[in-house]
Amino acid sequence: MLEITNLTKYYGDHLAVEDLSFSIEEGDFATLLGPSGCGKSTTLRTIAGLIEPTEGTITLRGEDVTNLPPDQRNIGMVFQSSALFPHMTVKENLAYGLKMHGLDDEVDTRVSEYLDLVEMSGYEDHKTTELSGGQQRRVSIARALAYEPDILLLDEPLTGLDRVLREQIRNEIKQIQREINVTTLFVTHDQQEALSLSNQIIVLNNGQKEQEGTPESLYEHPKNRFVAEFVGKSSRFTGQPDDTKPSVIQNGSLTFAVDPESIPDTSPNTDGADVTLYVRPEDVVIDTSSTFQNEFDATVSHIADVGSHSEIELELEDGTPVLVEAERFPDLSVGEQTTVGFDPEDVIVL
Amino acid sequence: MKLYKVAEQFAAWLVAVIVLSLLLVPIVMIVLTSLTPESFPTIPDGDVTLYWYSEMLSNTELMQALVTSFLVATCAAILSGIVGTVAAIGFVRSEISYREELATLMLLPLMISPVITGLAIIQFSSQADLPSGYPTLIIGHSILTLPYVFLIVRSRLVTFDDDLREASRVLGANGLETSLNITLPVISPTVISAMVISFVVSFGEFTATQFLIAPDATTVPVIIYTMLRAGLSPEISALSTLLIAIMVLGALISGAVTRST
Amino acid sequence: MIFRNLPVPTSVRERVTPRHLVAFGLGWLALFFVLPILVLVWQSLGIGTGEPLSAYQQALSGLYLWTIVRSFYYGIATTIVTLALAYAFSYFVVFWTSMKNLFLILVVLPLWIAYIIRYLGIQLFFSPTGPFVDLFGTDFGFLFSTRGVILGMTIAYLPFAILPIYNSMNAIDRDHIHASRVLGAGSLRTVYSVVFPLSLSGIVAAGLIVFILSSGSFLAPAVLGSSENFMIANMIERSYTELFNIELAAALSVIYTIILLALIAVFNSYVNLGEVFENI
Ligand SMILES: Nc1ncnc2c1ncn2[C@@H]1O[C@H](COP(=O)(O)OP(=O)(O)OP(=O)(O)O)[C@@H](O)[C@H]1O
Ligand SMILES: [Mg+2]
């Protein structure tokens, strides 16, 4: 459906995107995820034709569109700022794209259909400047979809909304995408948004692709430390592989048992180098009774209730923090001595 | 301590009253003296008359000058409105070297004395065989008002949301359609307001204009100046009051247009 | 109504860039403003007449030299008086009154009224049949004198000084002032050590504008002065319309403009003129 090949973009001599390739299948919900300034918007805007790539090609529906202007690409785009035309009503905003696509006859039906889709029926004649932030995003989404583009691009469309509204509109976007099955490329720096929305995530950092895959594969098998730390929460330990026992990582007084297959090649040049271990909070158990291969004494240092569960932070003997996801209102108090345990299979070694 | 405070307050108000009087008394003087029943411009004590207004209206030379001023100001406002807006759009969007310096160049007509501008343009137009009168007046005034449009429209464009243009492009409009459908309507109140300012500036311009007029194309300020040299009269005040009314109307229109956004 | 299906040939789309819009604006300015000025410069040189540069000799001697000096003297005097009034007034509006907008409207309103009308109003005020003479029996030499010209220009250009000073003063964080007062500084001391330095950029901008406008004024001496108060603009006009000496008029223009542009260049490194005028 969409294929990016060797995309490179320089602003002057500032390299914003470097040799990026990925593709999206029909009906997919893909997300470009990365920290601020990593080149997400740049990538999205080259796809839309708003900026010219320095190198590389963009193929849409099997057709090379690299040199087409934005108005000839049949793309829908939702901007960070909504970008609704202030001098037009809600209906006129939607009609603009429809008319530009020669769909004059369908203006009325499409406008009501797509306003209905985003639950904004009845707002046809409102001025866009009178809408709330959330309503503006909805209209903006309807405007981008009304002429049924081949692909929908969203550039951090939830920025500036409060948390509740963010989540609400996020779910609506997901629902709409399922309903009309439009191929979607979403840009965000929020890993939670990416994990909950997409079936394909492309992680960018410094203009380069770090990893690409399903949310599960990124979460469970991050390829490098950046992805491991950027996608999902985890506790982090460092240490050195013990040459005599392949399944053990030693860090001072602490010894971690890991899945031997997960240890990176101990080839001569990596020999002796530190490895980093990650354990996801839901894989750690606070328990004094059951036995784990990895079990450590720990002190509770912080308890936060996050609604569906509690996040508990503990400190190992040497001060290393451990993050644990537990049920709400655990029978623990700050300062309490306890133990934490996890299985070797749940340790990610990088 | 208390006394000191009172003195301070008194001084502050005194300055305010002096400054506002300086600014406003001359204007009030014009309006009042236009109503005098005397044959010389004095503040009427009790009796007021509109005699000097009817005198003015029956003066065909004055009425002709009003028409000329109106035509010249309208054409100049349209010309500088177009040129200034186009230039402002260009300057905001392009990334040329020496952009700020070149933009300052656009302000030169504000800095160079209008006497010099007027002299240069009349010399140039006679050497270039431009017809004197209207064409020269209109071009001259369009140059004198260009910086106003440029500055005002440029500062509006700086706050113009570029996403709007991009959204329009993605929605299927080409560059020209986007400019006509999106950019222009969004900035048009500012452009109109800038053109009203140009109109008013052109309508009242004297210094450069005195070089550019022709016998069949004389503007009101030049008439006022000529009458003034011959001696003060309430008729000049009446004519000036009419101009004040037009200019204040311009201020109100410009204010209303900008506030509507 | 929506414009669409406007054919924009690829060649045009690729060729019309913002640079072309800039070029159009600058081109217009170049053709009808810069070029005429250059022609004027050329004429001032008097090449082809018997004595090239003789106009400059004339312009830099006697009466004309004095006029140039007088223009800058009047300009400086007007700038000082205007700045003092504008500063005190802005201070009052910013710190003493809650009716800021009303005062600002009253300041901006005169800007809409043509200079010639405002100068006429001043003349009417001091004229023998005007209220001032009525009250005092004399105009105290305000009409057709240096005093009158400088007062007239002060009145004419006051709004240009008030606006930038007001803006820079209004932008001062009130907490700085409160801090100074809390630290024990008196109000005059606070003005001197806090308000003044923080509003300096507005003062420089205001001073520059008023100086540019007043030193080039034609109408103030023409309406409120006598021939003894003539400034450079009046001399240029007279050389052209009465003496028919275009070389002299051009030479005077060139000399005056060069001095002024040099001054602007010096100050432009301190304040951006574009921003200065944008304040208005
Ligand atoms: N027009 C431009 N000119 C110069 N540099 C630019 C331009 N636009 C972006 N950049 C730079 O290119 C890099 C990538 O920018 P981009 O906007 O693509 O990042 P992003 O991932 O979208 O970040 P954010 O999350 O902050 O939106 C940044 O370092 C940015 O400073
Ligand atoms: Mg971005």
Question: What pLDDT, in 10s, does the model give residues C155-210?
Answer: 999 999 999 999 999 888 877 777 777 777 777 777 777 788 888 888 988 999 99
For residue B99 the two structure tokens come to 């952009």
Task: Tell me which chain B residues have a C-beta less than 8 angstroms from the C-beta of C143.
Answer: none
C256/C261 Cα distance (integer angstroms): 9
SS3 content of chain B, % helix, strand, coil (to 5): 80, 0, 20
Interval A322-343 mean pLDDT = 84
Share of chain B above pLDDT 70, in %: 99
B75-89, C68-82, C86-100: range with lowest mean pLDDT: C86-100
| Residue C280 pLDDT | 52
Between A257 and C135, the higher pLDDT residue:
C135
Interval A119-136 mean pLDDT = 93
For A104, A242, A249, A258, the CA distances from A343, given in Å and listed in that order, are 62, 18, 14, 8
What's the whole-model pTM score?
0.84
The answer to whether the CB of A14 is under 6 A from ligand 1 is yes
Q: Is residue B81 part of a domain?
A: yes
User: If you search the block for the tokens 């029996």, which residue do you land on?
Assistant: C137
Residue B95's pLDDT band (boundaries 50, 70, 90)?
confident
String of DSSP letters for C192-242: IIIIHHHTHHHHHHHHHHHHHHHHT-SHHHHHH--GGG--HHHHHHHHHHT
Residue closest by Cα to atom 20 of ligand 1: A37
For residue A324 the two structure tokens come to 């644990």
Q: Is residue B117 part of a domain?
A: yes
Probe site for chain A from B170, B181, B257 (most A CB atoms < 10 A): B170
Tell me whether residues A96 and C13 touch, CB distance under 8 A.
no
Beta bridge partner(s), residue A17: A9
Q: Is residue B134 part of a domain?
A: yes
Question: What pLDDT, in 10s, does the model give residues B51-77?
Answer: 999 999 999 999 999 999 999 999 999
Interval A131-151 mean pLDDT = 94
Q: Is residue B9 part of a domain?
A: no
For residue A137 the two structure tokens come to 């995003």
Strand order across the beta sheet in which A200-205 lies: A75-78, A151-155, A183-188, A29-33, A200-205, A208-213
A269, pLDDT greater than 50: no
User: If you search the block for the tokens 């439009």, which residue do you land on?
Assistant: A182
The set of chains that have 3 or more CB pairs under 8 A with A is B, C
Tell me whether residues A69 and C2 touch, CB distance under 8 A.
no
Residue C103's pLDDT band (boundaries 50, 70, 90)?
very high
Measured at the CA of A331, the angle between CA A327 and CA A333, to 5 degrees, comes to: 115
For residue A91 the two structure tokens come to 């209906």
Average pLDDT over all residues of chain B: 92
The total number of structural domains in chain B stands at: 1
The answer to whether the CB of A81 is under 6 A from ligand 1 is no
Strand order across the beta sheet in which A63-64 lies: A14-24, A2-11, A55-60, A63-64
The Cα of A67 is separated from the nearest Cα of chain C by a number of Å equal to 12
The Cα of C180 is separated from the nearest Cα of chain B by a number of Å equal to 18
For A237, A264, A278, the CA distances from A293, given in Å and listed in that order, are 16, 21, 16
Q: Is residue B82 part of a domain?
A: yes
Residue closest by Cα to atom 29 of ligand 1: A37
The Cα of B10 is separated from the nearest Cα of chain C by a number of Å equal to 11
**Atom number, ligand 1, closest to the C-alpha of residue A45:** 18
SS3 content of chain C, % helix, strand, coil (to 5): 75, 0, 20
| Residue B213 pLDDT | 94
Instruction: Establish how many alpha carbons lie within 13 A of residue A127's alpha carbon, considering only the half-sphere containing its beta carbon.
Output: 5
**Domain that residue B91 falls in:** 52-259
- Residue B94 sits in a domain whose CATH number is 1.10.3720.10
Task: Tell me which chain B residues have a C-beta less than 8 angstroms from the C-beta of A77.
Answer: 166-167, 170
The answer to whether the CB of A38 is under 6 A from ligand 1 is yes
Measured at the CA of C236, the angle between CA C232 and CA C241, to 5 degrees, comes to: 145
Q: Is residue B43 part of a domain?
A: no
Q: Is residue B8 part of a domain?
A: no
Q: Which of B42-51, B86-95, C112-121 has the highest mean pLDDT?
A: C112-121
Among A residues 47-76, those touching chain B with beta carbons less than 8 Å apart? 48-50, 69-71, 73-76
Question: What pLDDT, in 10s, does the model give residues A174-225?
Answer: 999 999 999 999 999 999 899 999 999 999 999 999 999 999 999 988 888 8
Assess contact for C118 and B257: CB atoms under 8 A: no
Q: Which residue numbers of C have CB closer than 8 Å to A's CBs?
A: 2, 4, 13
Share of chain A above pLDDT 90, in %: 58
Give φ, ψ of B19 to 5 degrees.
Answer: -65, -45
Q: Is residue B32 part of a domain?
A: no
Residue A330's pLDDT band (boundaries 50, 70, 90)?
confident
B59-68, B170-179, C108-117: range with lowest mean pLDDT: B170-179
Spatial neighbors of A65 by CB under 8 A, at least 6 apart, are A49, A58, A59, A72, A73
B28, pLDDT greater than 90: yes
Strands A337-342, A275-279: pairing kind: unpaired
Task: Tell me which chain B residues have a C-beta less than 8 angstroms from the C-beta of C121.
Answer: 25-30, 240
A112, pLDDT greater than 60: yes
Average pLDDT over all residues of chain C: 88
The residue among A274, A269, A267, A268 whose CA lies nearest residue A241 is A274
Q: Which of A226-240, A284-298, B48-62 has the highest mean pLDDT?
A: B48-62
Residue A267's pLDDT band (boundaries 50, 70, 90)?
very low
A29, pLDDT greater than 70: yes
| Domains parsed from chain A with CATH numbers | 2-227 (3.40.50.300), 233-349 (2.40.50.140)
| Residue A268 pLDDT | 44
| Domains parsed from chain C with CATH numbers | 46-279 (1.10.3720.10)
Tell me whether residues C13 and A69 touch, CB distance under 8 A.
yes
